[in-house]
Amino acid sequence: MTTDHPNGSLEHEHHPTARRPADPSLAPRRYRSLFRRVALSTAGVTITPLLIMTGINYYQYSRAIEARTRQPIESQTSNTAHAVSFFLKERESAMRFVVTQGTVTLDCTNSQLQKNLTSLRRSLSIGSFVDLGVIDSDGRQRCYAGPHKLQGRSYKDQDWFHAVTLKGVYISEVFLGFRRSPHFVMAIRHQGPGGSFILRATIDTKELSEQILTIGLRPSSDAFLVNRKGVLQSSSRTYGPALSRCPLAVPHRAEGVHVVERRDEKGHLFLGFSYIDGSPFVLMHIKRAEEAMGSWISLRGEMLTFLGISVILILLVIYFVSRNMVRRIREADEARAQVFHKMEYNNKLASVGRLAAGVAHEINNPLAIINEKAGLLKDRITLSDDDFPQEKKLLANIDSILKSVKRCSTITHRLLGFAKHMDIKFETIALDDLLREVLSFLDKEASFRSIGVSFHVHPETPRIRSDRGQLQQVFLNIVNNAFAAMDDRGRLEITIQPTDHQTVEVHIQDDGVGIPEENLQRIFEPFFTTKPGIGTGLGLSVTYGIVEKLNGSLRVKSEVGKGTLFVVELPVGDPDLLDT
Ligand code: ADP
Ligand code: MG
């Protein structure tokens, strides 16, 4: 592991990676699609069960509540249906009673019949008899008691007459009769010793609705009778007086009581219905859905709100978690790619170094020979007494050879040093002392060129474990470069301070020419120099190699015309060994 801290743009500046085509595996598109896939699949596996559970719950609740709603409607409808049947049966029995008692016969007089009508009226408070008539088997009205003049009238061709002759009893649909109030006709056939005849009565149903059908109902509910065609047979709170049309379709005939859901212009409702046997009547009982299921509607609202909030929360959590996760994956990928590129770069440096060392080694020997022979030649000339015409010129040439050889050997020595894998010798070092020592080499030049050097040492800077000789070389290279970059009267600022990561940073800031962007990427390459003839281009590459070897890191920040900052970060090292 390296202790190098990837530091944004700086990191790119001293690695040549920035010039490579971007790694396709690190394309942002890839991470966006990864994010989409992660987020969608997580949302799928979390929200789907939630939706299914809520759906099942919703279904079961609504079934349960519907059953609970239907049940009271059903029983109320059934009770009312019984009451209606009873109403009809009661009147039929009363009529049967008068004929079986023999008080009404085929030959009775109108006044006898009138007496019977009066006593029937007295015995039944509501739905009272309006008139009575006795009809013989030919359909002729034999006698009549009531408000109309129907004596002698023939019913021979009327349907109800055939029906009652056939079935023994007949109940008509409701019609607006006497004084325009609703009536129906009930007729029974009597087979007695005095012959067979039909007793026909008109029955007033004006109070049927209030007294039997809607008794005890809530104002928003309603109960009424209709015929098979949907014409009201009693008045309805919702749909108007008897003989109006009921907008609800009459359900098909079925035994017993049933509850169905219907809709009219006022909305959704539950309809309980029951066919009344032996009559053309169908009892209908309606209850508005919002009243019947009021609690369910609010519960449903709560359920949906809860579902909505949960889904939003889940989606938010998924969004942030996935984003975070993908970001971490991306960071890890990038860190790996960086380490990989750095390894590549170091490899390149190492092989260039080996190559250079080989060359340097080979060149050293001939250089030594040239140096020796040129020296010899010079000695010969200076020591010999006889002057010859071009002596001065020759000596100058020899000096030039010697100077070039010297320069060559400086380069080869540096090359060798660059490649040499010197063993690191760790010792405890106070960085400020070491830097002052390095600067002392440059004292002369600094005072000659009036360059000001300032020093800031953070009081808590620890001493570190590192290699003194190698560090001297590192700082000498950097400070040398800074001096070369600055004009006379330049300023060099050196700051030494600890960091939070068990390292110490040395900042070396000059106010020199600066390094243009395109060069920043190349200054650590061997042989890269902007000082042709003077520079070797090896200083920073050697420096970089050493800092790496010491487990440190090197960063650079520069602005053309303003100056350059080099930061060397070095590990403090094993604290147990520090004071030895
Ligand atoms: P050399 O000093 O022999 O040229 P280096 O490897 O030491 O080789 O430096 C490489 C190049 O980096 C230099 O030629 C110079 O252009 C640039 N450089 C290094 N340090 C600085 C600095 N402090 N200010 C400006 N340029 C610098
Ligand atoms: Mg240099």
Express each pLDDT in 280-338 by its tens digit.
999 999 988 877 777 777 888 888 898 999 999 999 999 999 999 999 999 999 998 88
Pocket mutation for ligand 1, best pick of 540, 555, 558 (most atoms within 8 Å of C-beta): 540
| Protein residue closest via CA to atom 12 of ligand 1 | 523
Q: Which atom of ligand 1 is nearest to the CA of 534?
A: 3
* pLDDT confidence of residue 350: 67
Domains defined for the chain, CATH in brackets: 18-292 (3.30.450.20), 296-417 (1.10.287.130), 423-577 (3.30.565.10)
Tokens of 145: 């008691």
| Protein residue closest via CA to atom 18 of ligand 1 | 481
Ligand nearest to the CA of 527: 1
In angstroms, the CA 214 to CA 227 distance is: 18
In angstroms, the CA 8 to CA 13 distance is: 9
* pLDDT confidence of residue 44: 93
Letter string b/e over residues 267-302, b meaning 16 or more CB atoms within 10 A of that residue's CB: eebbbbbbbbeebbbbbbbbbbbeebbeebeeeeee
Pocket mutation for ligand 1, best pick of 481, 487, 519, 543 (most atoms within 8 Å of C-beta): 481
Q: From the first residue on, what is the mean pLDDT of each consecutive set of 10 residues in the chain (580 residues)?
A: 36 38 68 92 92 90 84 92 92 89 83 88 79 90 85 85 91 84 91 85 84 82 92 91 92 92 88 94 90 76 90 94 93 88 72 75 88 91 79 89 88 69 78 91 90 94 90 91 94 94 94 93 87 83 88 94 96 71
Q: Which atom of ligand 1 is nearest to the CA of 540?
A: 6
Give the DSSP per-residue string, 476-530: HHHHHHHHHHSPTT-EEEEEEEE-TTSEEEEEEEE-SS---HHHHTTTTSTT--S
Q: Is 25 exposed, middle or buried (0-12, 13-18, 19+ CB in 10 A)?
A: exposed
Taking each helix axis as running N to C, give the angle between helix 294-383 and helix 539-549, from 0 to 180 degrees, rounded to the nearest 10: 120
- Convert the pLDDT of each residue in 454-492 to its tens digit: 999 999 999 999 988 889 889 989 999 999 999 999 999
Residues in the chain: 580
Q: Cα 386 to chain center, whole Å?
A: 101
| Protein residue closest via CA to atom 13 of ligand 1 | 529
In angstroms, the CA 472 to CA 452 distance is: 20
Residue 88 near residue 185 (C-beta atoms within 8 A): no
Tokens of 29: 């598109």
In angstroms, the CA 358 to CA 414 distance is: 13
Ligand nearest to the CA of 537: 1
Ligand 1 centre and the CA of 340: distance in Å? Answer: 26
Residue 496 near residue 432 (C-beta atoms within 8 A): yes
Ligand 2 centre and the CA of 424: distance in Å? Answer: 23
Q: Which atom of ligand 1 is nearest to the CA of 536?
A: 3
Tokens of 298: 């609010």
Q: Which atom of ligand 1 is nearest to the CA of 528?
A: 10
The chain-wide mean pLDDT, for the chain, equals 86
Q: Which residue has the tokens 């049947």?
A: 85
Closest CA to 534 of 480, 469, 478, 470: 480
In angstroms, the CA 91 to CA 95 distance is: 6
Ligand 2 centre and the CA of 476: distance in Å? Answer: 9
| Protein residue closest via CA to atom 14 of ligand 1 | 529
* pLDDT confidence of residue 569: 96
| Protein residue closest via CA to atom 21 of ligand 1 | 481
* pLDDT confidence of residue 6: 37
Ligand 2 centre and the CA of 8: distance in Å? Answer: 25
Q: Is 19 exposed, middle or buried (0-12, 13-18, 19+ CB in 10 A)?
A: exposed
Give residue ranges with CB within 6 A of ligand 1: 477, 481-482, 485, 510, 512-515, 523, 528-531, 535-541, 564
Ligand 2 centre and the CA of 523: distance in Å? Answer: 10
Ligand 2 centre and the CA of 442: distance in Å? Answer: 14
Ligand nearest to the CA of 544: 1
Quick check: pTM over 0.95? no
Tokens of 366: 């001939």
SS3 (DSSP) at 158? coil
Ligand 1 centre and the CA of 14: distance in Å? Answer: 13
Ligand nearest to the CA of 14: 1
Ligand 2 centre and the CA of 368: distance in Å? Answer: 25
* pLDDT confidence of residue 223: 93
| Protein residue closest via CA to atom 19 of ligand 1 | 481
In angstroms, the CA 133 to CA 203 distance is: 12
Query: Which residues have C-beta under 5 Å from ligand 2, the single-atom ion?
Result: 481, 539
* pLDDT confidence of residue 8: 35
* pLDDT confidence of residue 15: 40
Q: Report the Cα–Cα distance between both ends of the chain, in Å, rounded.
A: 26
* pLDDT confidence of residue 578: 58
Ligand 2 centre and the CA of 288: distance in Å? Answer: 95
Q: Which atom of ligand 1 is nearest to the CA of 530?
A: 14
Ligand 1 centre and the CA of 391: distance in Å? Answer: 41
Q: Is residue 171 within a helix (H) or strand (E), and if so which, with residue range? A: strand 169-171
